[in-house]
Structure 1
Amino acid sequence: MAISAEPDAAGGGVGQLLRLSGEWTGRHAADLEQLVADAVMRLGGHQVRVDIAGISRVDTVGALLLGRLRREIAAAGGSATLEGGRPEQRILIDAADREPQDTPAPKARRENAGYGLVADIGRGVLSSVTDLKSWVVFLGAVVATLGRVMLRPRSFRFTSFVHHLELVGLRAVPIIALISFLVGAIIAQQSIFQLRAFGATVFVVDLVGILSMRELGVLLTAIMLAGRSGSAFTAEIGSMKMREEIDAIRVMALDAIEVLILPRILALVVGITLLSFLATLASIAGGAFVAVVYGGISLDVFLTRLPTTLTMESFLVGTLKAPFMGMVIGLIATIEGLNVEGSAESLGRRTTASVVKSIFMVIVLDGLFAMFFAAIGY
C-alpha cells in the first residue's frame, strides 16, 4: 500500500495526480490513516485526481479512509475526484462515503386527553379479557393433570406438596393469627363505640362472631397469602423460567404442571382452608379481648352469648369459600410465573401483577359468594 503524488499532466500541470496502490484493508488501518493524514497535509487546497486503479483489495475500513481523504481535501479548499478502480470497489467507496441525511422528525400528534383516557380503558378491558381467557385455559390444564394424577396416585409429588404446605400454612400461622387478632380487636372497639349510644353493647358479640366466621377470617387469610405465598410462587417459577429449568423439565419428558404447579396449588387450597379457621378464632379472640377490656362485657357473658350467634351455616359459608380462593391465588401466581421473560424487570413486573390480580380476584370472588348465599338465604 502506498500513495504517490505528481503533477497532473492531463490537467496542464495545475492539479495533482494521486496514485494509490496496495491493500486498503482493516489490517493496515494504522498505516493507512497516517498515509491519508500526510496526503491531506501536502495536497490540501489543490485540485486532486485520485487514481485507485492500483488498489488490489479494499474493505469497509479502506473505503471509509478514502472517503475521509476526499472530504478533508475538500474541507481545506481543494477538491478530490476518484478515478479508475473496479466497479465493485467504487460502489463500496461511494456507499461508505455517503453521509446520512438528517430527516426531520415527524411532528408528535397531540392527542386529546379524553381520547387517551378512553384508549387506556379499552386496552385495560382487552388485557382483562386476555387474562381471563388464559386463566380458563390454564385451569383446564391443571384440572386435566389433577385427573391424571388421581388415576395414577403414585405420580403425585407428595413430598413437594408437604414442603409447600409447610411454607404456606405452618410458617404463616404467626402473621395470620396476629393480623386477625388485631383486626378483630379494631372491629370490636369501633362496634362498641357505636353500639354504646343505643345501650346495645352486648351485641358486639354477634357482630364480631358472625363477621369473623363468614367474611373476616377467610378474606384476611386470602389477602395475606396472596401477598406472602402467591408472590413467592411467582418469583420461584419465574426464576426457573429465566434459567430455562422449566424447559429442562420438559426435555426430560416430565410435565411441568404436574411437577411444579399442582403441588403448589393444592398446598394453597389446603393451607388457606386451615388458616382461615385459625384466623376466625384469632379474630374472635381479639374481639373478646376488647369487649372485656374496653366494653365492660365479662368474659362469661361473651362466651355464653357466642354459641347462640354462631351457626353451622355461618361456619360452612366461610369454609366453602376458602378452597376456591386458594385455587384462584394459586392459578394466578403460577401462570404469572410462567409468563416471566428473560429479564429481572419482567420478573418484578409479573410478581407485582400476581399480587394485585390475586387480591382483586379474591375480593371479587368474595362478593360473588356473598350474593350467591344471600340469594339462597344461607
Structure 2
Amino acid sequence: MAVTDLNPSDNDQSFRCTGALTIGRAGSTQRELDAMPDGMTIDLAGVDRMDTVGAWLIHRTQRDRGAHIVGESAAVKALLEQVAAADHPVQVRPDLRPAPTRALAELGTWTVEVGQTLFGLLGFFGATLVGFGNVIRRPKRFRMNAVVSSFDAVGVRALGIIGLMSFLIGVVIGQQGAVQLQQFGAEVYTINLIGRLTVRELGPLMTAIMVAGRSGSAFAAQIGTMKITEEIDAMRTIGVSPVEALVVPRMLATVLMMPLLSFFSMLTAIIGGGVFCWVSLKITPATYAMRISEVVPLHDLDVGLIKSLVFGFIIALGGCFQGMLVEGNSEEVGRRTTNAVVQSIFMVIVLDAVFAVFFSSIGWL
C-alpha cells in the first residue's frame, strides 16, 4: 500500500510506498499521486516488488511534476532506468516529404511491384506448362468435367452479353463512319469500315475485354476463396496438384472458347452494321453481304482468331495467377480480383498493339 507523510518542519510532503507497486494498484496509486503537490519526494524503500506499470507511474510523476525518488533498491532502480530509456516521443504522422521525392518513391515502388509481378507470372507460366505436361503424360489425370463446366461459364453464358455488345458496336461504327464518309459522298465505304474493323480489331479486342472482366475476375475470386478456406492446402495434402485441378481446365477452356466467342462477336457486329446500313443508308442486305465478302480478306479473319487464342491464354493465366496470390482475408480476394482484371486488360491492349505492328510487317494489312 502507499502511505503519504507530511514533514511539518519544512512543510515538504513525502509519498512513501510499501509492498507491491504493480498494475493491480495502479489506479489507487495514481489517485494518491495526483493529490500530492509538485516537487514531492517519493520514498520507495518499502517497495518489495514493482512491475512495468508501477515503474511508469513513478517515472511519469518524476518527469512531469519534478518528484524526487529516494530509497529505491537496485532492482527497482534498474527497472526505472529501463522505463526512462524507453520513454521517447513517437511521431504518429511522419513529416511529408517533398512532392518530387514522393513521386520518385512511388515510381520506384511501382517499378519494383511490376518487376515482382512479371517474375511471379513467369514462374506461374512455367508451373502451368509443367501441369499441362503432366496431364499429357497421364491422361487419366485430365479433368474433363471441369473443362466442360468452364466451357459453360466462359463461353455459353457469355454469348448474350457479347452478342448485345457487338451488335451495338457494329451499329455505332456504321453510324460514325457514315457521318464522316457522307461528307465526301463515299458512304458506301462504311461497309469496308465495319467489316475490316470488326473482324481484325474490335471483335477480338472487345471480346477479350469482356471475358477478362467476366471470367478472369471469376477465376481469381474462385481460386482466391479456395486459398482462404485452405481447400488448396487440402488438395496438396492428399496429393492433388492445384495447377492440374484448377488452372489447366480453366486455361484450356478459355483458350478454346475465345476464338469461338470472337467469331460470334465479329458476326454480330457485322449484322449490327448491316442493320444500320439497311435502315439509314438504304443498302440492301444482299448488297451488304456481297460487299463484306469482297472487302474483308481471309487473313483478317486469321489475324482475329490468332489474337483471340493469345488473349484467352493471357486472361486465364492472369486470373489464376492472381487467385493463387491471395493470402490473409476476404479483402485480399477483392484486391486480387481487381488486379486480375486490370492486368489482363492491360496485357491484352499491349499485345494487340504488338500484333498490329507484327502483322503489318509481314504484309497482312
Q: 1:212 to 1:71 in 2, by over 3 A?
A: closer
TM alignment of 1:84-233, pairs within 5 A: 85-96=72-83, 100-102=87-89, 109-111=97-99, 113=100, 121=107, 123-233=109-219
TM-score by length of 2: 0.85
Runs of 5+ unmatched residues, structure 1: none
Q: Which residue of 1 aligns with 2:49?
A: 57
Q: 1:11-35 CA distances to partner (integer Å, 9 max, x unpaired)?
A: x88766665432333344455556x
Partner of 1:276: 262
Q: 1:24 to 1:121 in 2, by over 3 A?
A: closer
1:22 to 19, 22, 42: 19
Supply the distance in 1 between the matched residues of 2:161 and 2:145 (Cα, whole angstroms): 25
Residues 2, 15 of structure 2: 8 Å contact kept: no
SS in 2 for 1:335: helix
**SS of the residue 1:57 aligns to:** strand
* Residues 126-135 or 158-167, more deviating: 126-135
1:140 Cα offset (Å): 1.6
Percent identical: 37
How far residue 271 of structure 1 moved from its aligned partner, in angstroms, is 2.0
Choose from 312, 319, 328 the match for 1:333: 319
Deviation at 1:160, TM superposition (A): 1.8
Partners of 1:252 and 1:158 in 2: how far apart?
Answer: 20
In the TM superposition, residue 116 of structure 1 has moved relative to its aligned partner by 5.8
Query: Contact 1:63–1:97 (CA<8 Å) still a contact in 2?
Result: no
Question: Counterpart in 1 of 2:363?
Answer: 377
Q: CA deviation at 1:247?
A: 2.7
Q: Number of residue pairs matched?
A: 363
Aligned to 2:3: 3
Q: Give the AA of the match of 2:149.
A: H
Secondary structure of 2:3 counterpart: strand
Write the deviation string for residues 140-162 of structure 1: whole angstroms up to 9, x where unpaired.
21111101101112212222222
Distance 1:135 1:81, change over 3 A: closer
Give, in whole Å, the separation in 1 of the partners of 2:107 and 2:81.
51
The equivalent of 1:237 in structure 2 is 223
Q: What TM-score do you get using the length of structure 1 for normalisation? A: 0.82
Quick check: which has more Rg, 1 or 2? Answer: 1
Runs of at least 5 residues in structure 2 that lack an aligned partner in the other structure: none
Cα 1:16–1:171 change in 2 (3 A) is: closer
Q: Does 2:259 correspond to 1:267? A: no
Give the SS at the match of 1:377: coil
Deviation of the 1:278 alpha carbon: 0.8
Q: 1:169 to 1:22 in 2, by over 3 A?
A: same
CA offset at residue 364 of structure 1?
1.9
8 Å Cα contact 1:16-1:49 kept in structure 2:
no
Q: Which residue number corresponds to residue 291 of structure 1? A: 277
AA in 1 matched with 2:74: P
Matches within 5 A, 1:291-370: 291-370=277-356
CA distance 1:307–1:3, shift in 2 (3 Å): same
* Residues 78-135 of structure 1: per-residue CA shift (max 9 Å, x gap): x54321x431122223444679344899865535x4x665665555455444433332
Report how far residue 174 of structure 1 moved.
Answer: 0.6
Is residue 195–residue 292 contact of structure 2 (8 Å, CA) maintained in 1?
A: yes
Contact 1:217 1:283 in 2 (8 A): yes
